[in-house]
Structure 1
Amino acid sequence: MKKMVKRTAVVTLAGVMSVGMLSGCGSKTLDGTKTVATVDGTDIPLGVVSLYAREQQQQTTTMYLNYMGSADNIWDQTAGDDSDETYGDQAVTSSLESVEKMYILKEKAADYNVELTDDDEAAIADAASQFMAANSEETIKELAVTEDQVKTLLELQTIQKKIYDPVVAEGKITVSDDEANQTTFTYVSISTSGDDITDEEKKTKKEQAQEILDKMKEDPTADMSEIAKGVDDSYSAVQGNFTTKESEDEDEDSGSEAYPDEVLKVLRGLKDGEVADNIIETDTGYYVVRLDKINDEDATASKRESLQNSKENTYFTDTTAKWLDEADVKAVKKVLKTLKITDKHTFMAPTPTPVPETPTPEVTEEATPTPETEEVTETPAAEDTDVTETPAAEEEAAETTETPEATK
């Protein structure tokens, strides 16, 4: 566990951050030594918040480039019709709040027997030194951060990582069988949605669904995908799962909400390996279904783990939010306003230069070990909480990093 924490601390800031500004645009030089907030009498220097905020900005920009192909219009969009606040403004405010919580966690560390070991301190010092050496003077100036402040942020993030498990343990969080048990099924869905679809096309699709159903009834164990493709090459079967016990609260039955009520009603009346007698017709299409396992152990184990993680993240987030509310926190707004996140002022991780392919030599008895690289993507489990508050996006658990909707 200590080794994992050490790696997390090292990789968080060990990379190079490059600063970029559009032509004709600049930013005022920040004074990272100024106090941007106090938490129970402890000063938070602007440099620490600046570095954390730029990490979030860099990660979000990289994500947009990878998935959207562009990151030109993220931060300058207004967050609401009744406000002039931008997503960049929200990111700054949220970054400060995240750092404030980390300072509170540092206060609470002794209560949970959490401390930084000599190995932790050495790894953090090494990472901070590497970070300062790897980045240009221009970038360090834009970040307004000192090496000591880099170490401070790494220490805070490492404590946050270490304190997560003992805090969550206090919650005695469990997942009941009723919450976890999953039923799996296989189905073919033939869509009839769309304003331009004709009655004749719907009729054809229904006939195709019936053909698939008839063949599945002949052999319920058959490969439903092969049967479906035999009817129309564009069709295929997929496997789904839902919570076995029907919840009285529809909002809690998250394993079932992805499927139409008409489909679930039929499935709940089937036995293992049984194909539904009839096509299931919904507002959006036709379904052919087979119930595979009422109690699927693998799907249940996966669901239990997902629910456990989600509940733990929520508990940790709620607990730290409560501590923040109870703490004596004072923000220095005029200092915070000097930190800006805009589309005209970006921080990026440089794209690695491709290495030309070379012939692979024959392996000898003493092959040179390959350095580990996977840990570059590790980040503290709880560090993802309370980042930029932005429009709703998909969420795995707790408060993960949400990002503004891209404008095309």
Structure 2
Amino acid sequence: MRRTGKKAAALAVTAALAVSAAGCGSVKDSDVVVTIGGEKVTVGVANFFARYQQAEYETYYSGVMGEDMWSTEISKGKSYEETVKNQILETLENMYVLEDHMGDYKVEITEEEKKKISEAAKAFDEANGLEEKEAVSGTTENVERMLTLVTIQEKMQKAMVADVDTEVSDEEAAQKSMQYVNLSLTKTKEDGSTEQMTEEEKAEAKKKAEAFQKAVKEGADFAKTAKEKELEVKTMTFDEETTTPDEGLMTKANKLGEGEVSEVIETDSGYYVLKVTSLLDREATDAEKESIAEERKEKQYKDLCEEWKKDVKIEVNEKVWDKISFEKKGIKMKQQEEIPYAEGSDTDKSDQE
């Protein structure tokens, strides 16, 4: 089942910040992080954008990931900080390239938008003290520049995908639905940990699954029979790309007709009995249509950005960029008010595509 990847991330410039450490290495706001064609992206602009992304992550994820979130290795040889900073740098590069192509789509910043940008920069200035503003390079000039780029990115992205075909057929997006029971092959011990069942217990679980399957195969109500046998009924939607909760299980599910009940299916985790309730779940199919349409837009947007970036020389000053360290300086938001969004890092915020 398809799922869209990157989402737009709100840039909350009016938020009050809390800084846990000062300093950003021996680097000045005027130093250059990256040169894109003839444009120089300064530390001031890059640091402001990066720190606000950092603040969002720390505000919402540090409680789950812990104090060492930035040093956590999330892929071979790459920390969470490296991953997020790479995405932030790519976003900055995209925004500067988009600015150069505004004329292609007759995109302009209106006087009203300029006024709102100025007001947002003023709100940020009033919401934060000198230490916080220095930590994120939050001068009025940097804030306004970043918000201008964010606004351009928003308007350009909308224009760049305006001609994308968003019509998706039922056949392409079709989602099935089923209900199922799962008799696990593990059990919970008194201390809360789990362990494998004994062979005798597994045999008993299989016998119970077979009795349930026989009953519903002969026409008994799935949910009612499950309740009588103290089994939990779960439901899910799926298609031919679905591989969870078990790839082999889903292969068999996709071979069932509407209303058809499976045999007892054994997996590494337990015994399953499935019943397909619909070959075209309307709600799930419509949601998948939206997802596919968004994927098409996302692809066109990314493809255009990559095409345009090939036409310009991009040079990153790694020594300067490395000095903007998330691990050495923590930043969180005290409050958040959203303004126009920016293409941002997505760990999707998982979706680690």
Say which of 329, 340, 343 aligns to 1:345: 329
Deviations 1:21-59 (A, max 9, x none): 2xxx85446421333322221222211100111112112
Q: Distance in 1 between matches of 2:260 and 2:86?
A: 55
Query: Which ranges of structure 2 fall in alignment gaps of 5 or more residues?
Result: 1-7, 187-193
Q: What does residue range 139-178 of structure 1 map to in structure 2 within 5 Å?
A: 139-172=132-165, 175-178=168-171
Deviations 1:136-173 (A, max 9, x none): 10011112231021011111111111111221235546
Q: Answer yes or no: is 1:283 the counterpart of 2:268.
A: yes
Q: Distance in 2 between matches of 1:9 and 1:56?
A: 8
The residue number in structure 2 matching 1:336 is 321
Structure-2 change in CA distance of 1:79 and 1:202 (3 Å): closer
Q: Answer yes or no: is 1:304 the counterpart of 2:289.
A: yes
Q: Distance in 2 between matches of 1:144 and 1:267?
A: 55
The residue number in structure 2 matching 1:98 is 91
Structure 1 residue identity aligned to 2:70: W
Q: Distance in 1 between matches of 2:281 and 2:112?
A: 44
Other structure's SS at 2:69 match: coil
Structure 2 residue identity aligned to 1:349: M
Using the size of structure 2 for normalisation, the TM-score is 0.83
Q: Distance in 2 between matches of 1:64 and 1:338?
A: 23
Q: How many residues align?
A: 339
The residue number in structure 2 matching 1:236 is 232
Query: Which ranges of structure 1 fall in alignment gaps of 5 or more residues?
Result: 1-7, 244-252, 353-372, 400-408
Structure 2 residue identity aligned to 1:32: D
RMSD: 3.2
Q: Answer yes or no: is 1:319 the counterpart of 2:297.
A: no
Q: Answer yes or no: is 1:63 the counterpart of 2:41.
A: no
Say which of 395, 400, 403 aligns to 2:351: 395
Structure-2 change in CA distance of 1:195 and 1:326 (3 Å): farther
Q: What does residue range 172-321 of structure 1 map to in structure 2 within 5 Å?
A: 172=165, 175-192=168-185, 196-217=196-217, 219-220=219-220, 222=221, 224=223, 226-232=224-230, 235-243=231-239, 253-256=240-243, 258-265=245-252, 267-270=254-257, 272-276=258-262, 278-321=263-306
Kindly indicate whether the alpha-carbon contact (under 8 Å) linking 2:259 and 2:277 is maintained by their aligned counterparts in 1: yes
User: Per chain length, whose mean CA-contact separation is higher, i.e. which structure has more relative contact order (CA < 8 Å, sep 6+)?
Assistant: 2
Say which of 26, 41, 46 aligns to 1:44: 41
Structure-2 change in CA distance of 1:377 and 1:185 (3 Å): farther
Q: Distance in 2 between matches of 1:262 and 1:142?
A: 52
The residue number in structure 2 matching 1:365 is none
Say which of 102, 105, 108 aligns to 1:112: 105
Using the size of structure 1 for normalisation, the TM-score is 0.73
Kindly indicate whether the alpha-carbon contact (under 8 Å) linking 1:105 and 1:160 is maintained by their aligned counterparts in 2: yes
Q: Distance in 1 between matches of 2:10 and 2:23?
A: 31
Other structure's SS at 2:70 match: coil
The residue number in structure 1 matching 2:344 is 384
Q: Which moved more, 1:187-196 or 1:11-20?
A: 187-196
1:308 Cα deviation from its structure 2 partner: 2.0
Structure-2 change in CA distance of 1:89 and 1:219 (3 Å): closer
Structure-2 change in CA distance of 1:268 and 1:378 (3 Å): farther
Other structure's SS at 2:122 match: helix
Structure-2 change in CA distance of 1:38 and 1:186 (3 Å): same
Q: Distance in 1 between matches of 2:9 and 2:82?
A: 27
1:110 Cα deviation from its structure 2 partner: 2.0
Other structure's SS at 1:187 match: strand
Kindly indicate whether the alpha-carbon contact (under 8 Å) linking 2:150 and 2:340 is maintained by their aligned counterparts in 1: no
Identity of aligned residues (%): 27
Q: Distance in 2 between matches of 1:181 and 1:107?
A: 40
